[in-house]
Amino acid sequence: MRLEDIYSHKDWQYNGIFSWVKPVISFEVFPPKENENELYDELKKLKKYEPAFVSLTCNAGGKNNDSLDLADKIKNDLSMDVMPHLTCICNDKKSIEKKLQLIENMNIENVLALRGDKPEDNDNYCSDFEYANELVSFIKEKTDLSIAAAGYPEGHIDSPDLFTDIENLKKKVDAGANVIFTQLFFDNDKFFSYIQLVRDAGINVPIIPGIMPIISLNQIKKITSLAKITIPQSLYSRIEKFKDSPDDMKKLGIDFTSYQCRQLIDAEVSGLHFYTLNKAYSTSEILDNIL
C-alpha cells in the first residue's frame, strides 16, 4: 500500500468504554554486517504487531544494492512490505535509476529519499544530487513510487537553524514527498512545537514521529554527537544512574518510551515509526504497553 493511502485513514478500536485511534506502526532496520537470519528472527517477533511496512536503511556509503537484495527477501520470505532508503551520497542519476527499476520490479511501492551521511574519509564523494529535494524530484519524474522524506524536530545538524531546515523540508514536499518521518527525539514538546511550525510553513503531509528505545548510555552519547537531539536533564540523570546496570537501563528505556508514545497517541499522531536497532525486545515491550 502506498504511503498516502496508509496514512489517509485510522483504524478505530473499541475497548468497551470508548473508541480510540490505533496509530499505524512501522519499523526501521538496517542491513546486518554478518548474519541476516538474526534479523529475520527479530522481524518475525515484530510481525505480530502488523506493521504497515519495514523501513530498510542503505549500506554505508550509499552502496545499497545489497540492501535491495535484503528488501526483496524481507518482502517475499517474511511477507512484510518494505520501504527501501535511497541516498544522494555516492549515487549518480544512472545508479539511482537502476535502483528504481529494481524496486519497481519487486512491486515495492514506497521509498525514503535522503541526502545521506557524507563519508568520513572522503570529501569528494560522487553524486549528481546535492540535496534530498533534488533526489525526490528525480524519483517523482522517473517513477510512480510514493516518496517519504526526513524531518528534524530540532533541525538538521548541518542546518544553521530550525527555520532554515523547515524551508528545506518544504522544498522536499513541493518536489513530491508524500510523508515525513522524523528523526528520533526524547522531548515530545519539541515535536509538538515542530508540527506547529511545519504547518505554519504550509506543509500539510502526514508527519510521523521517529521513536528509539533507550538501551545504553553509549547509545545516547553517540546519537547526540551525530545529531541535534536534546535529552531532558531529568531523563539524563536517570540514564546516568543506570549506566552500569543493563537490565535497569533497558527497563528505563521501555518505561520512558511507553510514556512518550502514549502522549503521542493522545495527540492523535497518524503513526509511530520505531528505530529498532535490529532488536525486537524493547520495541515489543513498548507496543504491548501501549496497544
Q: Which residue in the list 28, 42, 154, 285 is annotated as catalytic? A: 28
Phi, psi dihedrals of residue 113, rounded to the nearest 5°:
-100, 125
Residue written as cell 537531539? 229
Residue 28 appears among annotated catalytic residues:
yes
DSSP strand E in the chain: where?
A: 11-14, 19-22, 24-29, 53-56, 82-87, 110-114, 146-151, 179-184, 207-211, 271-275
Q: Which amino acid is at 14?
A: Y
The distance of Cα 86 from the centroid of its chain, to the nearest Å, equals 13
Question: Which is nearest to 287 in space by CA: 116, 46, 53?
Answer: 46
Task: Return the SS3 of 272.
Answer: strand
Question: Which is nearest to 45 in space by CA: 210, 291, 279, 251?
Answer: 279
* Cell numbers for 106: 519487486
Residues with catalytic annotation? 28
